C-alpha cells in the first residue's frame, strides 16, 4: 500500500524560494575579483536569479541544456547556481586550474552551450575559445562598460550584468516543476589518471545531501550561523554549502579569488564567521599569516568550527585550531563521486570530557558515516572485512547521493554486485564506526609486503618545527619493493636538515616506517583542487636513488 502524502518533487529552486521568502535580509558577502567587498542578501539573490533565468530562456537554455562556469566564489556564481539549475538545465562548474588539455576535453565532453567566466579567466577563454566548439556565447561576469578593457578578443561575448539589467522582473514567473531525478549540475573528477570523468548530480540527490549536510552534527547550517565558503563553488558544489545555506537562511561569505592568509583572516574577523570550510592547504596559509603577524585569533575571531576535508587534517592543525583559535576542527571525508559528503568526525558524548590529547586522537580520524551513506571495507577477494579498528581494506560506498555511473557512461559499470562504488581509498573502520583513511590505494607505500600510510607519515612530519609542508611517496627499492621518501618544504628562514627531521620522527612512528631519505624542495606540486599532487611528485622522483638502495 502506498502512502497518501503529496508527491512533490525535491527541486533546487525550492531552496532559493525559501531563503528569499523567510530570510530575505540575510547577507551574502563576496570579496570581488577586484578586491572590494560586495554585499547582497538572499532577497536580491532570488530576484537576480529569476531575471537571469528569464534571460537564459530567451537565449534558448532549456531543460537539459548545459551551461558552464569558470568562476570564483562570489554572489554571481551563487546566482548562476540557482538560475541554471532552477530551469532544469545543468550547471557545469569547471575547475580553472585544470591543464589546457583537460579543459579542452571537459568543455567539449560536457557540450556546454554558454560559458560564464570571471574576468580573471579571460586570458584562458581568449586562448581556448576556438577549441570550445559547442559554446555559442560567452559571458564575462562583469558590467558591460568594462568589457572592452577585459576581454577584447573573445567572440560572441556578452556581459553578465547586462543580461540581468536588460531583463525586467516578471511577477508572473514561477520556477518550472519537473521530475526530481532531473540532472542539476556536472562536476568532473580531477583526472589524476586518464581523462577527467563527469559526475552528474540530480535535484533529488542534491536536496537529500543538503538536508543531511545542514544537520547539527554535520555542517550545522542555521540562520544564526555565518559560513566562509573557501572550498570552491567549482569543486563538488562547494561541498553542498550553498544549498544547505539557502535551506536554513545562513549568511554566506565568499572569498572570490582571495584565498591568501590575510584575506581569510580579515573575512573571518570582519564578517564574524562561525564556520569555515576548506582543504588543509588553505589553513596552512592562514596559520602562516597568524604567525608572521603575531595575531591573537582567540580574541579577534568567533570561529566555532573549521570544516576540513579533501585531504587529511594533520594533528598540528587540530591542535592549533583548538588552542589558538578555540575552534573545533571538524574533519570530513568524501569525494566528487559522493556529492561529496561521506563521513564526518563529530565527537560522541563519551569523548567530550577526554583530555585534549585523546580528543585530538579521535579528531584525526575522518569520521563516521552520515545518514544515507553505507560503507564497507573489503580485501583483495572483495570479501567484507570486520570493523574492528585493525583490518584495512578498500573502502566502498553506496547511497542516494553517490554516483551510479559516470557521465556518458565513461568507465562502464562502476558498482560491485552489491551496488557499492570503490572509492580508491584504503581505510580501517573501528567498532564505533569511525573510519581512518590509511591512504589512497595508489599512494600507499608497499614495503616488503607491508603497507606504510603516507598520510600517517605526513601528519607527523608537518609537526616538525621548520617544516611548512610535507609529502611522502614510495620510491622503488631493490630489496623492499618500495621505501618512503619524505619531501619537505621549509618555512621561510628555517634551518633544518635531514638528521633534525629524522630525529624529530623518532619515537613518533614505527621504526620501519622511517623514511629512507629526506629531501627539501621549494614548493610541492598541487592538484587543481589544492591538494598535494602525489602522481606528479612520484614522476619527479621516479629515478631517485635512495641511499639505502
Ligand atoms: P580530487 O582530489 O581528485 O580533486 P576529490 O575531491 O573527489 O577529487 O578527492 C577525493 C579524495 O580525496 C578521496 O578519495 C580521498 O582520497 C581524499 N580525501 C578527501 N577527504 C579526505 C580526508 N579527510 N582525509 C584524507 N583524504 C581525504
**What is the DSSP secondary-structure string of 26-78?**
-EEEEE-TTS-EEEEEHHHHHHHHHHHHHHHHHTT--TT-EEEEE--SSHHHH
Residue 528 scores a pLDDT above 80: no
pLDDT of residue 519: 95
Distance 199 CA to ligand 1 centre (A): 15
Distance 74 CA to ligand 1 centre (A): 24
Say how far residue 526 (Cα) sits from the centre of its chain: 14
Looking at the CA of residue 335, tell me the nearest atom of ligand 1: 7
Q: Are 148 and 140 in contact (CB under 8 A)?
A: no
Identify any residues that bridge with 159 across adjacent strands, giving them in sequence order.
140
Per DSSP (E only), the strands in 400-547 are 421-429, 435-440, 445-447, 450-452, 467-477, 481-490, 517-520
Closest by CA to 268, choosing from 23, 530, 29, is 29
Distance 229 CA to ligand 1 centre (A): 18
Predicted confidence band at 442 (pLDDT cuts at 50, 70, 90)?
confident
Distance 472 CA to ligand 1 centre (A): 16
Q: Are 314 and 508 in contact (CB under 8 A)?
A: no
Q: In this structure, what DSSP letter does residue 324 have?
A: I
Distance 435 CA to ligand 1 centre (A): 14
For ligand 1, atom 27, which residue shows the shortest CA distance? 311
Q: d(Cα 189, Cα 198) in Å, to the nearest integer?
A: 7
Residue 450 scores a pLDDT above 90: no
Looking at the CA of residue 366, tell me the nearest atom of ligand 1: 23
* Average pLDDT score, the chain: 95
Mean pLDDT over residues 184-189, rounded?
96
pLDDT of residue 531: 84
Q: Are 399 and 408 in contact (CB under 8 A)?
A: no
User: Could you identify the residue written with the cell 591573537?
Assistant: 296
pLDDT of residue 302: 98
Q: d(Cα 401, Cα 199) in Å, to the nearest integer?
A: 11
Mean pLDDT over residues 462-481, rounded?
92
Q: In this structure, what DSSP letter does residue 424 have?
A: E
Distance 464 CA to ligand 1 centre (A): 24
Q: Which helix (DSSP H) or strand (DSSP E) does residue 330 occupy?
A: strand 328-334
pLDDT per residue over 104-122, tens digit each?
A: 999 999 999 999 999 999 9
Alpha carbon distances (Å) from 465 to 460, 489, 490, 491, 505: 11, 12, 9, 9, 11
User: Could you identify the residue written with the cell 583548538?
Assistant: 322
Mutation test residue for ligand 1: of 233, 306, 309, 335, the one with most atoms within 8 Å of CB: 335
Looking at the CA of residue 531, tell me the nearest atom of ligand 1: 2
Alpha carbon distances (Å) from 216 to 194, 396, 434: 38, 26, 18
Higher pLDDT, 388 or 145: 388
Mutation test residue for ligand 1: of 197, 310, 330, the one with most atoms within 8 Å of CB: 310
Phi and psi torsions of 143, nearest 5°: -75, 155
pLDDT of residue 307: 98
Mutation test residue for ligand 1: of 93, 106, 234, 311, the one with most atoms within 8 Å of CB: 311
pLDDT per residue over 476-509, tens digit each?
A: 999 999 999 999 999 988 999 999 999 999 999 9
For ligand 1, atom 12, which residue shows the shortest CA distance? 310
Peptide bond into 340 cis (omega under 30): yes
The C-alpha cell of 472 is what? 611522502
User: Could you identify the residue written with the cell 591568501?
Assistant: 260
How far does the chain reach from its first CA to its final CA, in angstroms? 69
What is the percent of the chain with per-residue pLDDT over 90, rounded to a whole number? Answer: 88
Residue 98 scores a pLDDT above 90: no
Looking at the CA of residue 192, tell me the nearest atom of ligand 1: 3
pLDDT of residue 231: 96
Residue 330 scores a pLDDT above 70: yes
Say how far residue 131 (Cα) sits from the centre of its chain: 28
For ligand 1, atom 13, which residue shows the shortest CA distance? 335
Residues with Cβ within 6 A of ligand 1?
189-190, 192, 309-312, 331-333, 335-336, 366, 423-425, 437, 440, 527, 529, 531
**Dihedral (Cα; 285, 290, 292, 296), 10-degree rounding:** 180
Identify any residues that bridge with 31 across adjacent strands, giving them in sequence order.
37
pLDDT of residue 527: 82
Q: Could you list the active site residues? A: 189, 337, 446, 451
Looking at the CA of residue 235, tell me the nearest atom of ligand 1: 6
pLDDT per residue over 352-379, tens digit each?
A: 999 999 999 999 999 999 999 999 999 9
Three-state DSSP class for residue 174: coil
Residues 6+ apart with CB under 8 A from 508: 460
Amino acid at each position: 500500500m502506498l502512502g497518501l502524502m503529496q508527491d512533490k518533487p525535491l527541486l533546487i529552486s525550492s531552496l532559493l524560494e525559501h531563503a528569499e521568502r523567510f530570510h530575505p535580509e540575510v547577507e551574502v558577502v563576496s570579496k570581488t575579483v577586484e578586491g572590494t567587498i560586495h554585499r547582497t542578501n538572499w532577497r536580491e539573490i532570488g530576484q537576480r536569479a529569476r531575471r537571469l533565468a528569464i534571460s537564459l530562456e530567451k537565449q534558448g537554455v532549456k531543460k537539459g541544456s548545459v551551461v558552464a562556469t569558470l568562476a570564483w566564489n562570489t554572489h554571481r556564481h551563487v546566482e548562476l547556481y540557482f538560475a541554471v539549475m532552477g530551469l532544469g538545465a545543468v550547471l557545469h562548474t569547471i575547475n580553472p586550474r585544470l591543464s589546457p588539455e583537460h579543459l579542452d576535453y571537459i568543455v567539449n565532453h560536457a557540450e556546454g552551450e554558454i560559458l560564464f567566466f570571471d574576468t580573471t579567466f579571460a586570458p584562458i577563454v581568449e586562448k581556448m575559445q576556438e577549441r570550445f566548439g559547442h559554446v555559442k556565447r560567452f559571458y564575462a561576469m562583469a558590467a558591460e562598460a568594462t568589457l572592452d578593457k577585459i576581454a577584447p578578443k573573445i567572440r560572441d561575448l556578452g556581459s553578465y550584468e547586462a543580461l540581468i539589467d536588460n531583463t525586467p522582473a516578471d511577477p508572473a514567473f514561477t520556477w518550472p516543476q519537473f521530475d526530481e531525478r532531473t540532472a542539476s549540475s556536472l562536476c568532473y573528477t580531477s583526472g589524476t589518471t586518464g581523462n577527467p570523468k563527469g559526475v552528474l548530480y540530480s535535484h533529488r540527490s542534491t536536496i537529500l545531501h543538503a538536508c543531511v549536510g545542514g544537520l547539527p552534527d554535520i555542517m550545522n547550517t542555521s540562520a544564526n550561523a555565518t559560513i566562509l565558503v573557501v572550498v570552491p563553488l567549482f569543486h563538488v558544489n562547494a561541498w553542498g554549502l550553498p544549498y544547505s545555506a539557502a535551506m536554513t537562511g545562513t549568511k554566506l561569505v565568499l572569498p572570490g579569488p582571495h584565498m591568501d592568509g590575510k584575506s581569510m583572516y580579515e573575512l573571518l574577523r570582519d564578517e564574524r564567521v562561525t564556520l569555515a570550510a576548506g582543504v588543509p592547504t588553505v589553513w596552512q596559509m592562514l596559520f602562516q599569516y597568524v604567525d608572521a603577524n603575531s595575531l591573537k585569533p582567540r580574541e579577534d575571531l568567533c570561529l566555532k568550527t573549521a570544516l576540513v576535508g579533501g585531504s587529511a587534517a594533520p594533528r598540528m592543525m587540530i591542535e592549533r585550531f583548538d588552542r589558538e583559535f578555540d575552534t573545533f576542527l571538524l574533519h570530513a571525508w568524501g569525494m566528487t563521486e559522493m556529492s561529496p559528503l561521506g563521513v564526518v568526525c563529530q565527537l560522541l558524548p563519551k569523548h567530550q570530557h577526554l583530555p585534549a590529547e585523546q580528543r585530538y586522537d579521535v579528531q584525526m580520524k575522518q569520521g563516521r558515516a552520515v545518514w544515507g551513506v553505507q560503507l564497507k571495507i573489503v580485501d583483495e577477494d572483495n570479501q567484507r572485512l570486520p570493523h574492528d579498528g585493525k583490518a584495512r581494506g578498500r573502502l566502498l560506498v553506496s547511497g542516494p547521493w553517490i554516483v551510479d555511473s559516470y557521465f556518458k557512461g565513461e568507465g562502464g559499470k562502476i558498482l560491485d554486485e552489491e551496488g557499492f562504488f570503490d572509492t580508491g581509498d584504503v581505510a580501517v573502520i573501528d567498532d564505533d564506526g569511525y573510519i581512518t583513511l590509511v591512504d589512497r590505494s595508489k599512494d600507499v607505500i608497499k614495503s616488503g609486503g607491508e603497507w606504510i600510510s603516507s598520510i600517517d607519515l605526513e601528519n607527523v612530519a608537518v609537526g616538525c618545527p621548520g617544516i611548512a609542508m610535507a609529502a611522502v611517496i614510495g620510491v622503488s627499492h631493490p630489496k623492499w619493493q618500495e621505501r618512503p621518501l619524505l619531501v619537505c618544504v621549509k618555512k621561510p628562514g628555517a634551518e633544518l636538515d635531514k638528521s633534525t627531521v629524522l630525529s624529530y620522527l623518532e619515537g613518533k612512528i614505527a621504526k620501519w616506517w622511517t623514511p629512507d631519505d629526506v629531501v627539501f624542495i621549494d614548493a610541492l606540486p598541487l592538484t587543481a583542487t589544492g591538494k598535494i599532487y602525489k602522481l606528479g611528485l612520484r614522476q619527479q622522483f621516479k629515478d631517485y636513488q635512495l641511499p639505502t638502495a
